């Protein structure tokens, strides 16, 4: 079992290194443009088109480094009056969330200099109240980062396991949507560990694909 786990971990590390290296060739404008395309596709989902008594609750990560920018999704969610949950990363595997209500709060989390350089600087923690891990149960849809996603919903993250633990509190009805570049949505199965939580859909600059 130990050798099998080491093999999976080694394959994950190799994939992360390769993907992160390829992402270094993306530009700030490409990441922003891709983010706008992702936002257009995300807000075209039926969740936002059907009549509701109140706007939905959205959980979404704050992009960093060479990730596709989530600023367009975050800003549009606030503009639409959605309740917006963003991660509070804390220390280690502390799971928490904060609710943002204004574009100014969204902008305050974004390192413009980091976006230009592509370095994966951790986003600032929100100034808003810290909500417990269980707050994710209120989300009607969850957008989370991925380095790659396979055709079965397997997700490759950065390796900390934060989102795998966080998703344990998600409502079963809330789609788990991983955001990555279209070139990172692959057909071959990704190496997966028992604790890895699959996703329901992938969001790329080409649109949303449910799995």
Q: Which residues are annotated as a binding site for ATP?
A: 12-16, 155-163
Measure the CA–CA gap between 10 and 12, rounded to whole angstroms. 5
- What sign has the CA pseudo-torsion 28, 41, 95, 110? positive
Tell me which DSSP letter residue 153 carries: S
Nearest one of 209, 208, 154, 204 to 183, comparing CA atoms: 204
Please enumerate, by residue number, every residue annotated as part of a binding site.
12-16, 62, 67, 155-163
Task: With both helix axes pointing from N to C terminus, report the angle between 28-42 and 71-79 in degrees, rounded to the nearest 10.
Answer: 40
Alpha-carbon distances of 82 from 74, 109, 121, rounded to whole Å: 10, 18, 27
User: E strands along the chain, which residues?
Assistant: 57-60, 83-88, 96-100, 141-145, 148-150, 155-156, 176-179, 185-186, 201-204, 207-210
Please enumerate, by residue number, every residue annotated as part of a binding site for substrate.
62, 67
Measure the CA–CA gap between 122 and 99, rounded to whole angstroms. 18
Measure the CA–CA gap between 31 and 118, rounded to whole angstroms. 10
- What sign has the CA pseudo-torsion 207, 78, 59, 107? positive
């Amino acid at each position: 079992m130990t050798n099998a786990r080491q093999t999976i971990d080694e394959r994950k590390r190799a994939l992360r290194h390769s993907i992160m290296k390829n992402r270094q060739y993306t530009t700030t404008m490409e990441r922003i443009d891709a983010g706008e395309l992702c936002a257009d596709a995300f807000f075209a989902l039926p969740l936002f088109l059907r009549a509701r008594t109140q706007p939905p609750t959205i959980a979404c990560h704050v992009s960093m480094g060479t990730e596709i920018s989530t600023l367009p999704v975050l800003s549009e969610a606030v503009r639409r009056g959605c309740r917006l949950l963003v991660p509070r990363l804390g220390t280690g595997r502390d799971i928490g969330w904060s609710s943002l209500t204004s574009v100014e709060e969204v902008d305050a989390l974004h390192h413009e200099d980091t976006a230009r350089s592509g370095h994966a600087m951790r986003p600032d923690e929100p100034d808003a109240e810290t909500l417990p891990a269980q707050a994710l149960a209120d989300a009607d849809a969850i957008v989370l980062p991925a380095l790659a996603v396979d055709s079965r919903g397997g997700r490759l993250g950065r390796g900390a396991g934060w989102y795998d633990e966080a998703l344990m509190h998600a409502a079963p009805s809330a789609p788990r949507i991983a955001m990555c570049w279209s070139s990172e949505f692959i057909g071959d199965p990704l190496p997966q560990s028992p604790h890895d939580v699959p996703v329901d859909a992938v969001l790329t600059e080409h649109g949303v694909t449910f799995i």
